[in-house]
Chain A
């Protein structure tokens, strides 16, 4: 079985994100970037399937600026066999990513695609679902457990009421939730080996995909500063403030 994993370069989860002064987006200049944590989980799952003898090859795909190569190298150091970067400086929204991935999938013909359920920068939670729809493949989202059967997989999903297990046919799209696994620490020898693994670079135009954004960002701003608390003397005042100032009841 061949597995394709999509990995996204995002602002590192330890960084306190700041909005740009002009409100056009989030400040990414001189900010530490790393792999989206849900994508790390996706790669880890693919590597575990390979180690269990259930997958032959793992291809890590990233889309975005040239520096996404670092993200792919991390995936290669974790155990992916080769990488593909669809390189562009343009803004990529989930639909464009799904369309680009679809073309890559048609070329690569994987049996299984694993993505993070969402990226921690825009929290869209759309790409996996869109990709499955565009491909007409089965999908198992928010996976906390993946079991490979014969031509099908059982995906245990984290839903509001508990755990739901679905059996889906291959080829399929799976998106990883937080508890699917705990990604490994990368070994030093594997960082060295990752340098030598193949990494192909493609351009969106070569793939014949229109990546123009469909959504317009009006404004990005930081959450309002939290005000200091106050003490109230009576329940009546509390109720009044909750109703007329906080507007929560």
Chain B
């Protein structure tokens, strides 16, 4: 088992050089916080300590032990989790980017994103609890009444209570229009009846209360998506003064046995087994799915970060193992000392593949986080809208691409370990098992791809994508001006990649057959991800070259240049293959009959 050390050096580089901390810090919202790189460094260093010393040591033991449901006691988290949660909230880390008005720290999403990466690298099962709470906080912030905000937000933001998201039912997974849970009006509240599944941290004893956000139908609500409403259903009813009242009629009836994230209890929640769970409406009736989508964007972004986070943890473990494990002699050497496996070209290929894709994911995700800040807080509405268009376009890419790559990186991590990677003791397989859920929950990769190639491209006839491609072309131009063999190589590869993205986008926009588009939509999403990653690595190379000219931190910046070149030579070319696949239009995919499968 290797320890986790947060990659704060790369995080700072990305935040400062690629995501543009200065632009975010200049937003009037953050004037009072007086944000600069020194403050960000101080925050990241302290977050890194908590991640490394409190959360990371519980990752393996939490996986082995898991959470358990005990009759009459509810869900008991794995040993150490409750104490770790107390340290986490006592440090104020639950509300990094929440508004100061409700007790948050009011820092940019960009800074929170780096912290989120750390929590998830250190212990993804743990991090899921605050992640879902953040989703619930977002939903109440956006759609709740003033009374609801005042009653619930401060305690959810401090972490004194946690929040959950209750969407899925056994017949309503990716298709939420099939939700059947009922909400019956009764005086000033509703009574909820129904069963929800896959509810992450749906029940636990780490906090005094849990606030469930639940999708349900009111009587006579229209069929399908237009008839779903959103409710707040607390585990313990909350009195107007904030004190806790009676236990509500909502219970975890079982927890799932899963491939990974064993320490995160995935609950089956029963609402209204008795007289009905008391709930209050959020916003207006029948608007539930719209509210849910506001929150879902944030949650999808954070799940995308989990792909990066697991990739980083897997890389650190593989790197340490490769530096330590002695096996064989260098190629072409027949006698003498045996060497550590990091000397073998194929192991280096795997490690660099992990490192390069992690750094590309980090750059892309943090750049999107900066767009989120600018879209939320810029004083100029037109500029806000421009950033929002970029966010909307790239969230399915961050979610879909980063999680698919996260699995690939975690799998490479197992491979670097050889046989020991298949043995639980090294921890390498836990990362692979944990990563496997990330392409599924909060919308599968297929759903993300449908969102990108269907909804997002069609919404503005590809305008946001064309703007993105134009920005990439600007970078290609800058690379052309720069000196050196590395940047010339990167320029050629990025130029090819951007052409592939433009070609695939054109094909999708011109296609008249939605089935053909859907058949190749994941290829299109992956192509977009690889090229976005290549674009960010190219920007990183330009920044690293600038820094090297003034002699700043040569070890880090030279390694960045090599990594960017690796990405250009060995990862980015995949875009060309994916373009061919997109352009084939999925003829074979649609030709096969059901019986022929």
Contact = CB atoms under 8 A, between A and B. Distances in A.
Interface of A: 14, 30, 32, 34, 70, 73-74, 77, 185-192, 194-195
Contacts of B54: 185
A188 B92 contact: yes
Nearest to A69: B38
Interface centre among B5, B54, B91, by most chain A C-beta atoms within 10 angstroms, is B91
A187 B43 contact: no
A70 B91 contact: no
Contacts of A74: 42
A41 to B, nearest CB: 15
A65 B46 CA distance: 22
Given A70-B42, A187-B92, 5 more contacts: A187-B91, A188-B43, A189-B105, A191-B42, A192-B105
Interface in B71-102: 87, 90-93, 96
B39 interface: yes
Contacts of B552: 30
A14 B5 contact: yes
A73 B46 CA distance: 12
A187 B554 CA distance: 33
B293 interface: no
B34 A185 contact: no
A22 B273 CA distance: 77
A187 B87 CA distance: 9
B307 to A, nearest CB: 25
Interface string B282-297: 0000000000000000
Contacts of B50: 185
B146 interface: no
B550 interface: no
A189 B555 contact: no
A32 B38 CA distance: 13
Interface residues of B, number: 28
A62 B525 CA distance: 53
13 contacts: A14-B5, A30-B552, A30-B553, A77-B42, A77-B46, A185-B46, A185-B54, A185-B91, A186-B46, A188-B47, A188-B105, A192-B105, A195-B39
Interface string B489-527: 000000000000000000000000000000000000000
B45 A34 contact: yes
Interface in B6-59: 9, 33-34, 38-39, 41-43, 45-47, 49-50, 53-54
A34 B91 CA distance: 20
A70 B46 contact: no
Contacts of B441: none
For the complex of A and B, the 10 pairs showing the least CB-CB separation, nearest first, are: A188-B92, A30-B553, A186-B46, A189-B92, A187-B91, A187-B92, A191-B42, A188-B105, A185-B50, A185-B91
Interface of B: 5, 9, 33-34, 38-39, 41-43, 45-47, 49-50, 53-54, 87, 90-93, 96, 105, 552-556
A5 B9 CA distance: 29
A4 to B, nearest CB: 23
B549 to A, nearest CB: 16
Given A191-B43, A191-B46, A186 B91 contact: yes
Given A14-B5, A195-B39, A188 B93 contact: yes
Nearest to A183: B49
Contact of A195 (B34, B47, B92): B34
A45 to B, nearest CB: 19
Interface centre among B9, B38, B53, by most chain A C-beta atoms within 10 angstroms, is B38
A70 B556 contact: no
Contacts of B34: 195
Interface centre among B45, B90, B555, by most chain A C-beta atoms within 10 angstroms, is B45
Contacts of B45: 34
Given A34-B45, A74-B42, A185-B46, A192 B33 contact: yes
B36 to A, nearest CB: 9
A191 B5 contact: no
Given A30-B555, A195-B39, A188 B46 contact: yes
A32 B96 CA distance: 24
Contacts of B554: 30
Contacts of B556: 30
Contacts of A194: 42
A74 B38 CA distance: 11
Given A30-B555, A195-B34, A188 B96 contact: yes
A189 B42 CA distance: 12
Contacts of A70: 38, 41-42
Contact of A185 (B9, B43, B49, B555): B49
B446 to A, nearest CB: 38
B8 to A, nearest CB: 8
Contacts of A30: 552-556
Contacts of A188: 43, 46-47, 91-93, 96, 105
Contacts of A185: 46, 49-50, 53-54, 87, 91
Nearest to B46: A186
Contacts of A34: 45
B565 to A, nearest CB: 21
Nearest to B556: A30
Contacts of A187: 90-92
A194 B34 CA distance: 12
Nearest to A196: B34
Nearest to B95: A188
Contacts of B33: 192
Nearest to B42: A191
A186 B41 CA distance: 13
B511 to A, nearest CB: 49
Nearest to B93: A188
A34 B42 CA distance: 10
